[in-house]
Structure 1
Amino acid sequence: MSWSKNISINTWRCGRLMSMYPQHYVDPIYKMEDQCSKRTELLRLSHIPIKGALNNSSDTIFNGEIKQKMVNYITKNGEGFLSRKLMAQTLEMIKRTQLEGSYISPGYNKTETDAESLLIQAVENCRPLLQLSSIKRGGVKYHVPIPLTNKKSYFLAMKWLLDASREKDRKVSLPEKLAWEILDAAHGHGRVIKKKEELSRQCESNRAYAHYRWS
């Protein structure tokens, strides 16, 4: 039994190593702005093997990094088509809401109607800078504020937006709930903004324990 188990593990390891790129392969540069700003680097990499670009890597105006990550976080059970459809409905509802408000308000020319810009603004407003981590020193646990990486802060911001929209009334569709959460966060208020401010207050109150991070 153990012999067959070792064979299956070794086979899985070999298959995984063969399916991955070697270490000397470099990441592709597919964005036009990066290609223009990194001309010298492209010339240096002209004779170095490059990894293949991902299927969702595109430089069109319809592709956005924040939007693609939101689609990935919405996806459940591998239903990517459904998550892309829900994201498209969310952006459409944001644009409709902003257009309706622009015609009602007197200063409608200054109203932002670009749904993707509002999504990016909402995520930027919800990004936390610090997070509390439980560290044990001398038999006592302290909640120590620790700075977050950019990747983790973006992940938490989008996760909070999705969690806040899913906690609302189940009779309302997800695109509508998510659209309202994004609009609230883009304008600096809402449940997610309050959650971020509460986390910031907790980190500020526990800043006296920040040195335990290195001790």
Structure 2
Amino acid sequence: MSDVEDPFARFAAWLAEAEKSEPNDPNACCLATATPDGRPSARMVLLKGADSRGFVFYTNLESRKGRELAANPHAALCFHWKSLLRSVRVEGPVARVSDEEADAYFASRPRGSRIGAWASKQSRPLEGRWALEKAVADWTIKFGAGEIPRPPHWSGFRLSPRVIEFWRDRPFRLHERLVYRRDSEDEPWRTELLYP
């Protein structure tokens, strides 16, 4: 398969262009999950890795998205780069990244973000901003100048795509939609164009 036919190479090229033109967070995407009974929810996350194995993002496993992915391990991502008039949709099953991969990424984060991962009870009710600030102060004192290990409730997920759709703006709303599909990681990609 050539780079033109490889959706991961196409995505990498589009993301590289977005990194030059988007003013903030070109790696931001909307993550859609669903409860076991099919109720959807969506929120913005930051993509932290993309290669032939899939698309990686990190989160608190006890957050709403973490709980939904544990119960229903399928998700969708949507990237929109307004400056380029392009978007990409990705759908597929998700699985946790390895502990080694999560540890390596966690260690690369700024110290304040690592402390925040311990302090935040993500998606749960917050009594007031003071409670979060107190938790941050408490964890800062606890770790002092030492290393900050990855919390057991914090890790990443890899979405292994079964569908990747590349959308490009065209005049008169006659947009270009190129879809790559496969039923498993071991199968070759099939492509098709969709009406806009």
Q: Do the structures match in fold with TM over 0.5?
A: no
Bigger helix share: 1
TM-score by length of 2: 0.20
Q: Considering Cα pairs closer than 8 Å and 6+ residues apart, tell me whether 1 or 2 has the greater RCO.
A: 2
TM-score by length of 1: 0.19
